[in-house]
Structure 1
């Protein structure tokens, strides 16, 4: 077994691992070892080679990745949803957006902003608890409670689970 020949052989002075003479130790010379191999940037670029073996499509990597996601019907920004959540999302997306037309609906939309809501509560002279109580008070007449034929406890022992075949 022999070691391969190094690219930068040491100078013959240090060949036998003897300490150098004292005159060499005291000299301050800058290190001037130059690598005799190419770095990856230094290789000459051959246009014919790139045309032959380079990428055939002009599509960027980002576009190709996006196209691949779209073809498979999934992308990393899509959450993995349950069937119910997927249905809810698609039905929400299919719904049409109705512009706010009545003053009540515009006011209700503005009340979603906490700063606006706080300002309105202060204008009405209410505390936040009073305002919430006012929101939940029942408007109109309370209907009679429904009378059912069977009002006993519900038996769920024999109901199969939802994913039963």
Structure 2
């Protein structure tokens, strides 16, 4: 008993508290503030972790999209190497590009689908009549694709 009263007197002198109830109230307030701060830290850490996961996912999707668009451009660019004696090879390449585009449609934005279809239509016209080949038009079509990619 004596030790308790001595401790109580010391605490009252140190903190200037009038009773044990005030000490208990102060202790409860400090503990609740500490718990609140810890809950806030936990929630903010969790939110940042989820944002980081989402950012990583978006980066992976964008990398895959860029890789597919580069492959598509290389395939389209290879079409310019065919001449009028290679009709069957050109037709097979057009079909391959169309299949590639269909398989990877989820990664190819609509703007690139439009440009790719324009290029494919141009080469289909060349396939029907080689005299329709216009190198300036080819350059314009590929420049549109490149400009869209470099936006």
TM-score, normalised to structure 2, is 0.23
Higher radius of gyration, 1 or 2:
1
Structure with larger RCO (C-alpha < 8 A, sep 6+): 2
Richer in helix (by share): 2
